[in-house]
Amino acid sequence: MNTCCLGLRCVAVLLATAGVATAVPMIGATAVAQAPASAPAAASMTCAVDPVHSMALFRVHHLGAGQFWGRFNEVTGSFSFEPGKAEGMNFDISISTESVDSGNEDLDKHLRSPDFFAAKDFPKMTFRSTGAKKTGERSYELMGELTMRGVTKPVTASLEFCGMADMGRGPKAGFEAQFTIKRSEFGVNYGVEKGAIGDEVRVIVGLEGGPKK
Amino acid sequence: MEADLVLRAVVLPAAVTVIVLAVLAAVAGRWARRSPVRPASARFSWLPLAAALPVVLSYAQQEGAAGLSWPPAVAFGWTWVALSLAALSTIALAATSAVVQSVLPAFLALSVVVPPGYADPGGRLVAAAIVGAASFAASSGRGARESAGASEHVAWWLVFGIASAMALLSGFAKLSFMIASLSAAASMLALLSPWAPRLRPDGASTAASACALGVLCFLGLGYDESGFPWWSWALLACAPAGLAVRGFAWGSPRARALAVIAVPTLLALVALVLALGWTGALARLGQPADPGLDVYGLRTEP
């Protein structure tokens, strides 16, 4: 009986030790990732957007019912920032309209046509920041100009600093921006009149980048 | 949504065009009756407007006031300009030879429209030559053996209808609606022309319609997202050449009228079938219809 209890206790101790052993590096990694948010001022960093780990999502009301989500797979450009500071923050982002992806090839063809993005006339849409304001510990208000289908309009995005870390592949920094536009203001008016496809489009851009070489 | 678009961007522009043409025809008829001598401009006709006005109105309906800003931001925005230019030039060239009336508007219209990938003038010159030749062939054979006017309107109705379907299948709905407005206007003119001789097609209106089809096919080619081969768009643009069958000596007037409808329609249909066959879409069309799928093949019913 005692032997059995001792054996179980040993197994429990071993499991607990193994748990701690695996948990320690994870906690360590999280701490590294979180560090810059609370870290004191660091040097300014200019990053090239990592096109594999960056994307833009859009959401629009469809047929007065559900929210339709699509994405752009090719996001390129650069951004520069100084952790914790709004001053000097600069974003120059380019999105390939050819890379629109709804998960349905026929719908993608229609989205690329002049009914929507006119991808052959305007293969890129761009965002260039004009200023930034700090609104929280990790959040900012990013002002800039969005150019789509040859029309440039000012937009204000809410920007979140997601983190900065070096996990053996060089330092990486990440941001997520959200803003809403009226697509008809950019000449994308297909289906707007009767509200079949909503006019307001919510855009979420997830960016990850490493130091620009 | 689709029904509303069809009404606003297809039926309404066609109906307004036909009303405008009927009024112009009535006014022209009254002037002609008052004139003691047959004027030199007796061949003058407003009918070529039927190849431009529906597109202008359809474009305005779909794009709104912003779409009419100058200069247009997209190549597609020049469509209404090119077609207006073609129609007005065919009207202005009414007193010239059929060659001039057919070829010059084609070159004028295609000098304005620059679809994506055709910034080089070489491609546009070839397109203009094809459209001009098709337009001249379509206008030829008119004269002593001229068939009933309604049959040519019916031919345009069907040819534009097939072109509209091809534009839709290529992934460009707005272009499809614009072409459909031309088809709808032709259908209305076909119904009215037996009672309104001034609404029957003439050389100028045939040239303008052929030119309009050519410009729209060229745009369809430029914006094609379905991979339809260039020659299918070219064949579609050449379909009006089938109207030349009206000049052949064989058969009764009724047989010739039927041939005027059948030959261009068949050419257009062949262009569409070849385009779909080339991309493999024909095989998908042959499958049984699934009412649970929407236009994009997405399942909309559980």
Q: Which of A105, A115, A185 to mutate against chain B (most B CBs within 10 Å)?
A: A115
Tell if the CB–CB gap between A115 and B225 is shorter than 8 Å.
Answer: no
Q: At what angle do helices B12-34 and B173-192 cross, to 10 degrees?
A: 40
Please tell me whether residues A105 and A163 are part of one structural domain: yes
pLDDT band at A28 (very low <50, low <70, confident <90, very high): very low
Residues of A with Cβ-Cβ distance to B73 under 8 angstroms: 121, 149-151, 187
Check if A194 contacts B (Cβ < 8 Å): yes
Please tell me whether residues A52 and A21 are part of one structural domain: no
CA dihedral A110, A115, A116, A119 (to 10 degrees): 80
Please tell me whether residues A31 and A52 are part of one structural domain: no
Please tell me whether residues A106 and A168 are part of one structural domain: yes
pLDDT of residue B146: 52
Please tell me whether residues A128 and A33 are part of one structural domain: no
Query: What residue type is assigned to position B293 of the chain?
Result: L
Phi, psi of B36 (to 5 degrees): -70, -30
Please tell me whether residues A11 and A71 are part of one structural domain: no
The CATH number of the domain holding residue A154 is 2.40.128.110
Cα–chain-centroid distance for residue A108? 21
pLDDT of residue A130: 95
Chains A, B: CB contacts under 8 A, how many? Answer: 72
Give the three-state DSSP class for A49.
strand
- pLDDT by residue (tens digit) across A62-115? 988 889 999 999 999 999 999 888 898 999 999 999 999 999 888 999 999 999
pLDDT of residue B295: 56
Tally of CB atoms within 10 A around A8:
10
Q: Are the beta carbons of B204 and B90 closer than 8 angstroms?
A: yes
For residue B9, give the nearest of B167, B222, B199 by alpha carbon: B167
Residues 63-122 of B with CB under 8 A from A: 63-64, 66-67, 73-76, 116-117
pLDDT band at A195 (very low <50, low <70, confident <90, very high): confident
Phi, psi of B256 (to 5 degrees): -65, -40
ipTM of the complex: 0.76
Please tell me whether residues A33 and A124 are part of one structural domain: no
- Can you give the residue ranges of every domain in chain B? 2-285
* Count of structural domains, chain A: 2
Tell if the CB–CB gap between B223 and A187 is shorter than 8 Å.
Answer: no
Residues of B with Cβ-Cβ distance to A122 under 8 angstroms: 74
Residue with more model confidence, A139 or B256: A139
Please tell me whether residues A60 and A9 are part of one structural domain: no
pLDDT of residue A123: 94
Tell if the CB–CB gap between B4 and A194 is shorter than 8 Å.
Answer: yes
Q: What rounded mean pLDDT belongs to chain A?
A: 82
Tell if the CB–CB gap between B1 and A63 is shorter than 8 Å.
Answer: yes
Tokens representing B264?
A: 């261009």
Buried b (16+ CB within 10 A) or exposed e, B114-141: bbbebeeeebbeebbebbbbbbbbbbbb
Please tell me whether residues A171 and A85 are part of one structural domain: yes
Which of B62, B117, B175 comes nearest A120 by C-beta?
Answer: B117
Please tell me whether residues A55 and A25 are part of one structural domain: no
Please tell me whether residues A23 and A51 are part of one structural domain: no
pLDDT of residue B43: 56
Please tell me whether residues A106 and A169 are part of one structural domain: yes
Check if B144 contacts A (Cβ < 8 Å): no
Residues of B with Cβ-Cβ distance to A196 under 8 angstroms: 1
**Which domain range does residue A199 map to?**
41-211
Question: For residue A70, what are the β-bridge partners?
Answer: A58
Q: Are the beta carbons of A207 and A93 closer than 8 angstroms?
A: yes
For residue B203, give the nearest of B106, B91, B82, B108 by alpha carbon: B91
Check if A210 contacts B (Cβ < 8 Å): no
pLDDT of residue A44: 86
Tell if the CB–CB gap between B73 and A149 is shorter than 8 Å.
Answer: yes
pLDDT of residue A14: 42
Q: How far is A115 from chain B (nearest CA, A)?
A: 6
| Overall average pLDDT of the A128-148 stretch | 94
The stretches in chain B having pLDDT less than 70 are 1, 32-44, 66, 141-148, 249, 284-302
pLDDT of residue A129 exceeding 90? yes
Task: Give the pTM.
Answer: 0.80
Q: Are the beta carbons of A73 and A55 closer than 8 angstroms?
A: yes
Check if B223 contacts A (Cβ < 8 Å): yes
Which of B76, B222, B296 comes nearest A104 by C-beta?
Answer: B296
